Amino acid sequence: MVYCTAFQSKEISSVEFQFKENYDVNDLVAIVQKLRAPDGCPWDKVQTHQSIRNDFIEEVYEAVEAIDEQDTAHLREELGDVLLQVVFHTVLEMEQQHFTLTDVAGDVCRKMILRHPHVFGHVVAETPEEVIKNWDEIKMQSKSQQNVSEAMETVSKALPSLMRSRKLWKKAESGGAALSDTTAALQLAEQKLADLKACAENGQTEVCSAKLGELLFSLAGLSRFLQTDCEQSLYNACDAFIDRFKVLERDAAAKGVTIQNLSSEEIAKLWNDNTSLSN
């Protein structure tokens, strides 16, 4: 079997492969190399970082779903799919002789050692809060960040927006420019809601988009004082809405009708009649 920790040219006519009972991460690299060889898979051979970008996102979300389900077997499967994405993107770079999987693993090992001086060095950090403080300080130093705004720019724009918003509020707080307390956060959210209501009443569609964003961003700031994760809160709300809609459909069916045949007023009445939908 061929497994290349060093660079391999994509021009190799064929990649040998050996079937076995148990495989490891080295075999996974070999499989991806085989798939992308000239005599490999027509689909895999033409993929790029960009073409499978969304696949990466989807696999991570499916792994998160398995965590939420507390399903060990499902999590094992989904972590494998995430690992496949890591290996596939790495093989793409190996073909260009940019870096290998060993380089990727080495980089993250050095990062973990550097950012845990309380474990691998002589720094004292006795609480999770002290660990996070040290982590953020070391991260700024290692990335040569001179101020908080530069640290903010490192927060990935590919994150779900509520998650990104919460991280930006955290960065602002570390720079001493965040909201002072729950009351201030609530006042900001109320002001942003009033702004949105005003532009909506005036039919200012384009302005409404910006004001809605400001409202959502203020709510992300509020979530920090409520000791809750706004992304998780919205996730739970989505599940609750589905559950409530099921009840709505059930009650409509009990009356011999379907929701599609009801007016908006009738749907609102049916919704309000069932106390479980409004709790």
> For the segment 124-176, what is each residue's pLDDT rounded down to a tens digit?
999 998 998 888 788 778 777 778 788 888 888 988 999 999 989 988 887 77
| Mean pLDDT, residues 168-195 | 89
Per-residue pLDDT for 278 more than 70? no
The residue range of the domain holding 88 is 25-107
- Domain boundary among the residues 107, 137, 172 is at 107
Task: Say if 193 falls within a structural domain.
Answer: yes
Shared domain for 152 and 224, answered yes or no, is yes
Task: Say if 115 falls within a structural domain.
Answer: no
Shared domain for 183 and 221, answered yes or no, is yes
- Domain boundary among the residues 213, 228, 243 is at 228
Shared domain for 252 and 199, answered yes or no, is no
Task: Say if 150 falls within a structural domain.
Answer: yes
Contact 35, 41 (CB under 8 A): yes
Shared domain for 160 and 218, answered yes or no, is yes
Task: Say if 15 falls within a structural domain.
Answer: no
Q: For residue 13, what pLDDT band results from cuts at 50, 70 and 90?
A: very low
- C-alpha 136/C-alpha 173 separation (Å) is 12
The string of pLDDT tens digits covering residues 66-111 is 999 999 999 999 999 999 999 999 999 999 999 999 999 999 999 9
Shared domain for 221 and 252, answered yes or no, is no
pTM, full prediction? 0.69
Contact 17, 31 (CB under 8 A): yes
CATH of the domain at 62: 1.10.287.1080
Task: Say if 258 falls within a structural domain.
Answer: yes
Shared domain for 41 and 102, answered yes or no, is yes
Number of domains, the chain: 3
Per-residue pLDDT for 47 more than 60? yes
HSE-up of residue 169 (Cα within 13 Å, Cβ side): 23
Task: Say if 190 falls within a structural domain.
Answer: yes
CA distances from 166 to 28, 145, 212, 255 (A): 36, 20, 16, 44
Shared domain for 184 and 170, answered yes or no, is yes
Task: Say if 221 falls within a structural domain.
Answer: yes
Shared domain for 149 and 74, answered yes or no, is no
3-state secondary structure at position 216: helix
Q: Would you tell me how many other CB atoms lie within 10 Å of the CB of residue 142? A: 11
Contact 155, 164 (CB under 8 A): yes
Per-residue pLDDT for 39 more than 70? yes
Task: Say if 132 falls within a structural domain.
Answer: no
Shared domain for 100 and 174, answered yes or no, is no
According to the model, what pLDDT value does residue 263 have?
85
DSSP one-letter code for 22: S
Rounded to 10 degrees, what is the CA torsion of 244, 249, 250, 254?
A: 140
- Domain boundary among the residues 107, 134, 159 is at 107
Helix ranges (H only) for the chain are: 25-36, 42-45, 53-69, 72-95, 101-114, 117-120, 128-142, 148-153, 161-174, 182-201, 205-225, 230-254, 264-273, 275-278
Instruction: Classify the C-alpha dihedral 141-144-146-147 as positive or negative.
Output: negative
Contacts of 188 (CB under 8 A, 6+ apart): 179, 218, 221, 222
The string of pLDDT tens digits covering residues 196-250 is 999 999 988 889 999 999 999 999 999 999 999 998 999 999 998 898 888 888 8
Shared domain for 67 and 34, answered yes or no, is yes
Shared domain for 221 and 250, answered yes or no, is no
Least confident of 39-53, 155-169, 232-246, 264-278: 264-278
Shared domain for 182 and 249, answered yes or no, is no
